[in-house]
Each structure stands twice: as structure tokens, then as C-alpha cells.
Structure 1
Amino acid sequence: MDTGFEVFGDVLADISSDCRDSDRYDRGLLKHVLKLRSLFQRGIFGDIEVGSQRHKNGMTPHLNRTVLDTAESIHRTTPLPRRLKLYGTLDMLRASTQGFEIRLGSGEKAPGVLVQGDVRQLQGLLGCPVTVYGTAVYRPSGRLLRIDANEIVPALEQDRFFTTIPRGTLPPGCSKRIIGGQAARGELAAIVGKWPGDETDEQIQEALRRLS
């Protein structure tokens, strides 16, 4: 069984490598990691080595200002959670973690956690069409990390319209920073022209959708 040091070491290893598709953190966890910056601002530590059985032979994760700067960059560009209604087939339940998995019509699988109620009470719905109500939580890359579900119920015919995982919304101000960096490299010339410009937030979001 993993210890807290090993789990934290895995998180730091992914942050250090600027892994934007990691399944080890979301905006909430990154925010907690950033609170550790106070240790370095006060001059208490310069570098913290997080030892564990899994990370050996020079691969021991470190926590320092550089890692925290990377964590801040990842946090700043991670999509915000958003409310979700999703139709699919209940494909898996895991009582030990309140976990579940929904299989969509496209074959894509959407993992989640039931945050209200007991997931064992859903056993009768395994293999059946269901509708999930909850919050979509995203990876820094924009892909779905998990669904924090408040309710999973038998699907109705009209729920078949909700078969697509909605895209995450970038934090305020993040869109223009990303577009600005891409425009400096000439990647958006055909979409928004010269940067900076007078594009609205909606136009910027549309440009990002075309690139994804």
C-alpha cells in the first residue's frame, strides 16, 4: 500500500516534468501544493527531498521554488470545473472508493466518484443506461479527469442528447495569455490575425476550440 510520501512524490514528479495530462492532480490539489511556497519565502528551506521506496537511484522528487513555479503555471492554465449532465451506460462500480465508470456511445469511458450516497446502491443499474448529474473535473491538458457525481439515475429518452463530455472553461485571463504566446510563434495568424487585437473572450475561446 502506498504511503503519503509516495503519493506526494508521484505528484511532485509529474509537476517537475510539467505533465499536463497527469491524473494525479487537479486545480484543487495544485492549489494546496502552492501553499507550500511560504516555506521557501520565509527562508526556512531551499530544497526539500521527498524520499520513498518507489523513487530511488537519483530519481527522488524535490520540492523547491522551480517546482512551485511549474505548479503555478499548470494551475493557472487548468480548466475550471463545470456542471455536467451525461448520458451513458454504467459500466463499473468500485465500493472501496465510491468510484464508477460510464461508457459513452462513442466508446469513451468517463470515470467518476459518487460524492453523495452509497455507490453500492447502484448495483441494479450496472449495464443499464443512466444519467449522471455532477461536476466535471479536468486535467491540465483539458481532458476529463473525473466526474464528481451528486446523482446517478436511470436514463430517460430525452437524456440521449447529453452524450458528450463538455469542454472545460479556462480561468479568467488565461485565454489571452495562451493565445498571445501562440500568436508570437505565428500559430494563430490564420485565425485571429495580428496580436494583440480586439478579439472578445468568445472569439478567443473559439480559436482555442479550433486548435484542440
Structure 2
Amino acid sequence: MALRNRSHAPGKQPNWVKQASDVRFIGHSGNGATHLQFELPSLEVAASTVYEQKELFASGRPDGSLTGLDLLMKVVADIDASRADSSTFDLHLLRQFSKLSRFFKRGPFTGVRISGSESNRDQRVSMTCNTVENSRNLYGRTPTPQRTRIVGQLDGIEASTQRFSLLLDSGDRVAGVYPVDISDKLQTLWRKRVLVLGTSVFRASGNLLRVEAETIDDGTNAASLFSTFPVASNGRLDPNRLRKSQGSRSGMAAIMNRWPGDESDEEIEAALELIS
């Protein structure tokens, strides 16, 4: 998420993604609690091809001395705080966090505390059932991805992460990702007006997170009508909103053993005989 603006992408993963997630167990200790130690490379080492390039996006890259585990800590912190406008997670990542409920329900653990790496040693976060519940709530609040058509100037391309920046007629910028098979084509469209067809992906707040392009073509004659920020048209159904407590006069209790009408027993019997 931090480098590619998406937690999952189709196709083969870049080598730097595999290296950044190369977590190795190196030991354990503890007195009343289990302490596990892991080792993994820093981002600037694992993703050197990314950090050698000039930064394209105003949001900036994470500190290269951090590790993938440090980035995970930021995700956990934002989910725990229910930061709906966070860019550290998307729908796919929230869905993965929600699966942790099985870990807490079936195992003896009530939480996992994560401490930062050497350059981030003062930071700690705890992953608990509350984290799982918040991830479900944020997932339920996130609008469904929708088809989009957007026009603007192709302002930047980052080949190592397959990201692009689109400058709208208003001067605003839209961040997007593109499929690897159109990489060569984008070089010829750089700084030109283009038409992007794809899918808009939103944050839990409803604000745009990214545009997932399927095609990017010359848009010299494309209308300015489409040079606007994609807006979420609907929200995702949150199952929690449908769960209501039931009492003696609500839910199933309100209709069990009752006829949903004002007819008397005699009128009902007469009607049944008429149609039998």
C-alpha cells in the first residue's frame, strides 16, 4: 500500500515486494508473555529500484530505513483509530484483517503487540479483537468501486510501482495505477492529454483513493466534462446496520402466532373454504 497505493495487484509481484516481505524468525523469549523476534530488510534495501527513482507523488515515500513490519504497524494504528480517510489500507487489506477473528477466537491469545524496528523502536501497536471489529466497520463504510472515465494530462509515471499521476483541468491531481502491459505505451503519452478508462477505488470516508486504469489512450479531443474527480455514488452495505436487538415486541416475537390482519377467526375460515 505505502509504495504501490494498493495492497493487491493481479499478475506476478515485483521482486522488491517479495524481498520487502521476507520475514525471518530469529528467536524468542518471554516471562509470562511470548516474545518473538523477526528480521527483515529495510525498504531502501529491499526496494532499491523504487528508492533510486525521483519521487512522483506529493504524499512522499516512507522512510527508507523502515521495514515492511513498520508499515504494518501504521495500518494497525489507523484501523484501531478508525481513520476513515487513511490511505494506508484499502478494501482488500481490510478484508484480510477481518479474517484474524478466527485467530483470536480459536487460540489462547487476546492480542498481539508489535514493536518497531531499530529506527522505529519507540513505536508500538496492539492488534486485538477491536482491530478486527474496526476493520469490518471500515469495510462496511467503504463505497463500492465503480467504473470511471476521466480525462487529464498524464503528469507522471512511476514504472517500478506502476503508478501514474493525472493533472485535471482544474489543476487537481488524481493518483492511479496501471497494468504492466501498457507501460511502453505510456512513455509516448507522457505530458499529453489522455483518456483513462477503469475503476475508481474509494476510502472508507468516501474520498477517492486511486483510479485503477484498464486503458490509457490519447485524449486530445476528449471533453472537459470528464476532467473531474470521481465521486462515490453509493456506499457498501454494512451488515452491522442490519443487526437489531430483539425484544418481546420486536423481531420474530412481534409476528409469531399472530395473523397479520384484522380478520376474525370465522372470516379466515370462510375465506379458506371459499378457495379450497
TM-score under structure 2 length normalisation: 0.59
Cα distance between partner residues in 1 of 2:238 and 2:88: 25
| Residue 128 of structure 1, aligned match among 192, 204, 220 | 192
* Map of 1:155 onto structure 2: 219
Q: Deviations over 1:68-127 (max 9, x none)?
A: 111111111011111111000100000110110001111111011102514243122121
State the shift of 1:55 in Å: 4.5
| Residue 141 of structure 1, aligned match among 205, 209, 213 | 205
Cα distance between partner residues in 1 of 2:215 and 2:223: 14
Percentage identity across paired residues of the two chains: 31
Cα distance between partner residues in 2 of 1:142 and 1:156: 30
Q: Report the residue type matching 2:237 in the other structure.
A: P
Moved over 6 A (4+): none
RMSD of aligned alpha carbons: 2.0
* Map of 1:183 onto structure 2: none
Of structures 1 and 2, the larger Rg is shown by 2
State whether structure 2 residue 183 is matched by structure 1 residue 119.
yes
* Map of 2:147 onto structure 1: 83
State whether structure 2 residue 91 is matched by structure 1 residue 27.
yes
* Map of 2:236 onto structure 1: 171
- Point out where structure 2 has 5 or more consecutive residues left out of the alignment: 1-42, 44-65, 242-276
Paired residues of 1:91 and 1:102 also in contact (CA < 8 A): yes
Paired residues of 1:116 and 1:149 also in contact (CA < 8 A): no
State whether structure 2 residue 125 is matched by structure 1 residue 61.
yes
Cα distance between partner residues in 1 of 2:236 and 2:201: 13
Cα distance between partner residues in 2 of 1:150 and 1:43: 42
Q: Deviations over 1:19-66 (max 9, x none)?
A: 111111111110011111110111332110122225543x41111011
- Cα pair distance change 1:173/1:64, threshold 3 Å: closer
Q: Secondary structure at the match of 1:117?
A: helix
* Map of 2:33 onto structure 1: none
TM-score under structure 1 length normalisation: 0.76
Cα distance between partner residues in 2 of 1:42 and 1:10: 26
Cα distance between partner residues in 2 of 1:157 and 1:90: 15
- Asked which structure has the greater RCO (Cα within 8 Å, sep 6+), the reply is 1
* Map of 1:190 onto structure 2: none
- Point out where structure 1 has 5 or more consecutive residues left out of the alignment: 178-212
- Cα pair distance change 1:90/1:99, threshold 3 Å: same
State the shift of 1:156 in Å: 4.6
Cα distance between partner residues in 2 of 1:3 and 1:118: 30
